[in-house]
Amino acid sequence: IGKILRPSEAPSADSFERGEKIHVWSESRQEWLLGVVQEIFLTDTKTEGFDVPAGSLKVLSQTGVKWILPADRQRMVRKVQAPSELDL
């Protein structure tokens, strides 16, 4: 019998990898910017003087470093989509 995953343990469609290129929402510019995932925090952590909850991302874009909390991931970060044949 397989292990039943709780929602917090199940792989999510919005999971990211360190070094992955992403789009980051800029509140100041009101547009999506190209960025990269610098760190992924899988457990509650203390880093750079901050308490960082599990599921947070540290991302870099042309506007600088941004910390994305788990509650904000869906609206602030999205995967970069590869162009399809229809887009060419």
Q: What is the 3-state secondary structure (H, E, C) of the chain?
A: CCCCCCCCCCCCCCCCCCCCEEEEEECCCCEEEEEEEEEEECCCEEECCEEECCCEEEEEECCEEEEECHHHHHHHEEECCCCCHHHC
Q: Residue 50 and residue 3: Cα distance in Å, rounded?
A: 34
The predicted pLDDT at position 3 comes to 43
> Which pLDDT tens digits describe the chain residue by residue (88 residues)?
444 444 444 334 458 999 999 999 999 999 999 999 999 999 999 998 989 999 999 999 999 999 999 999 999 999 998 766 665 5
Q: How far apart are the first and last CA of the chain?
A: 46
Q: What is the pTM of this model?
A: 0.75
Residue type, 19: G
